[in-house]
Structures are given as C-alpha cells and as structure tokens.
Amino acid sequence: MDEEISGPHSGPMETSAKSSTSENLRNLVRAEFAPKSTYLNTASTGLLPVRTVVAMRDAAQSVADGLPQDMFADVEASRAAFARLVGVSERRVAAGASVAVYSALIAASLPAGAEVLTAEGDFTSVLNAFHVRGDLKVRTVPLERIPESVRPGTALVAVSAAQSADGRIVDLPALREAAREHGARTYLDTSQATGWLPVDADAYDYVATAAYKWLVCPKGVAFFVVPEDLGGLTPVFAGWVAGEEPFNSCYGPVRELAHSARRFDESPSLFAYAGARHSLALIEELGVETVRAHDLALADRFRAGLDRLGHQPVPAPGSAIVSVPQLGYRQAELSRAGIQLSDRAGNLRAAFHFYNTTSDVDRLLDALAG
C-alpha cells in the first residue's frame, strides 16, 4: 500500500494528518491482505481479511469439536456494525443473505397496478421481482433520467446507487427530492456502494446491501434497512428467527413477530456471519471517507492512464468502478497474466478498493498498452 491520501492544496498540518491516516490504512492492509494476484475485481467479490478467515475457521472448528460457539451473537454484532456504517438504528436493519429476497419482499407488498420505476440495465436482483409479479406497471428509463421520471402515481423507485455493469452513480439528491415531491417510496441497492461511498440509509425507505463486495464479508451476508414503522411490509418468509423470542418460536406459527426489522431476517448463514462481524469492524476502523478517498484516487489514476492510451471509459465521475467499452474480451488474457478483473456487458470492469495500490493500477495500464 503506497498511496498517499492528500489533496493538492493541503496545508502542513492537514497533510501531516492525512499522511498519518494513510499510514494507518497501509498498516491495516498489510496485516490483513496478501493476494497472490493483482486483484481489481471487488465489484464481483471482495477479498476476505485474515481476521475474517480466522474467525470462520474457529467457528467451523468449534462445531467440529462439538462445542459450537454462539454465532447468533455474531449476527447481532454484524447487524449493529452495519447500522452504524449507514447511520440508522440497528432496530431498522434485517440480516439475511440476498438482495433478491428483499426485492421480492417489497414487490409482494405492492398493490396490483402499482407503478415501479427502474433503471435500464440495472442488476437483476434489484428489479426482477417486480417484473415476475405480472400485475405491476414496471417503467424503465436510462439511469440519468431516473429523478426526472418520477411522477404522480409512481409508487416506488427501485435502483442501484452504483451500477454493477459500469459504476455509474445515480443522482441521489435529485432522486430523494423527486420522490418526496411525488410521494413515491425509494428502494436503493447499495451493494456496489456501501464500503467506499458514504450512504445515509435514513434518506430512503428501503436499502438493501449484499456485503460480500465492498464490505469484504463472506458471501451469504446481506442487510436490509426499513423505516421505523417497518414500511408496511408483510414478513411472508418469516421463520423462527423472526420471532420476538426466536427460541420460543420454533414450533407452530410464530405467535409474536419481532418488534423490529428482525422480523424480516432470513435464517442466517452462521459461519458467514461469524466472519462478517470482523470484516465490518475493519471497515469501521478504516473509515468509509478514508476508503473513498483512496479508492477514487486510484480510479482517477486509471482513467488518466486510459486517456493516454486512447481509451474512453464509461463516464462515471466519482466512482471507484471504471468500465472500458469494447475491452471486455481482454479479461481472460489479463487473468492469465495475474490481473483479475471482470467482463461485464462487453466492458472491461476494474474496481479499486483499499487493498489496491498505484502499482496495481500501473501494472494494468502496462498490460493494456502491451
């Protein structure tokens, strides 16, 4: 980790503080990550920290030994950490495994004929549940037109904060204002944002996040934020973990659902959550603003290098994801060379996170030039 996080106009004290922050980031990363490749594929899967791998191994060993540790405590610790990261009470956070499940929960709550506004080419997990209902009016527009397309009668706007295919970021302030003006509810998928982009979940009705990308959690961990009044949702998939007293809700119908968003919990993948609490703790230690500054500096370095090579990425200012049209075919070649990226919709997609360095960027640029 050799990236300084400081602006061109920093004064001496500010530069010193930022250098100290940068050094802390480098030290944490050195202790937690040692990838055997140039890994620029966080938009697909985040690297797991050492602390997370050790915690999962210990949890598995405890079961092998016949002395299982309390992994439900890990679920609660993870819920609380995520709540802090997005600025809401943990009572508003459900713990699950999949964004698609929570999209389906929202879709099931809508009356027949309700209009749902979505973005062209958004990730399937965000929008497919609204299409399969068959009796909803799903309207699709280009991402940049989402705010202006909210209208009287729009019941819900469902959109990713950052697009999976190319990293474009929806105009969040304009979306909030348009939804408020027309009385529409908002459903934001922040799977490609939370962890590097500050997210104020309180500004939206529903927020879902798959945590195995930018939050560097094991796959099988997802979170869902609902309003204080629980958003008018019916917990149609509720099992025993959704009870106010889960271990007294194992047989027969659940007599008393949890009074919080926990009524929307999926039965948790416990080994994944045993690790997740440690991944989320690492993100909290680093600080999302610090991570954002680092990630964007690398992304901007890559964009500048692409310009020198005569390539134009998909315009996505302020994004840690850079997607280059018509270069997706080079993904396999780069992978064989030890540089891990994605081919998405024909684009070569690079994703820059806190464990990446300027050397990673330069190695990719050299490979593209060659």
Task: Render pLDDT for 85-126 as a digit per residue (tens, 0 to 9).
Answer: 999 999 999 999 999 999 999 999 999 999 999 999 999 999
The CA–CA distances, whole Å, from 348 to 305, 323, 325, 364 equal 15, 5, 7, 11
- pLDDT for 2 equals 40
Average pLDDT value for residue range 55-81: 98
Q: Give me the amino acid identity at 57.
A: R
pLDDT tens digit sequence for 321-365 = 999 999 999 999 999 999 999 999 899 999 999 999 999 999 999
pLDDT above 70 for 251: yes
pLDDT score, position 24: 78
The predicted model gives 299-328 an average pLDDT of 97
The confidence score (pLDDT) of residue 1 equals 41
pLDDT at 11 over 60: no
**Mean pLDDT score, 168-179:** 98
The more confident residue out of 24 and 240 is 240
Q: Chain-centre distance of CA 251, in angstroms?
A: 35
Following CA atoms 257, 258, 264, 267 in sequence, which dihedral angle do they give, to the nearest 10 degrees? -90
Per domain, the residue ranges of the chain are 12-48+287-369, 62-285
pLDDT score for 17: 57
- Please choose, from the candidates 272, 197, 233, 236, the residue with its C-alpha nearest in 3D space to the C-alpha of residue 92: 233
Calculate the alpha carbon distances from 20 to 12, 62, 292 in Å: 12, 39, 16
Residue 160 confidence (pLDDT) above 70: yes
Q: What dotted CATH number matches 12-48+287-369?
A: 3.90.1150.10
Q: Is pLDDT of 27 > 90?
A: no
Phi first, then psi: give them for residue 84, nearest 5 degrees: -65, -40
β-bridge mates for residue 116, sequence order: 138, 156
Closest-CA residue to 119 (of 69, 192, 46): 192
Largest CA distance in the chain: 66
| Mean pLDDT value across the chain | 94
| CA–CA gap between residue 194 and residue 200 (Å, rounded) | 10
Q: What percent of the chain has pLDDT over 90?
A: 92
CATH number, domain 62-285, options 1.10.1740.10, 3.40.50.10440, 3.30.450.40, 3.40.640.10: 3.40.640.10
Given this model, what pLDDT does residue 204 score? 97
Rounded CA-CA distance 256/277 in Å is 28
Q: Does 15 have pLDDT greater than 80?
A: no
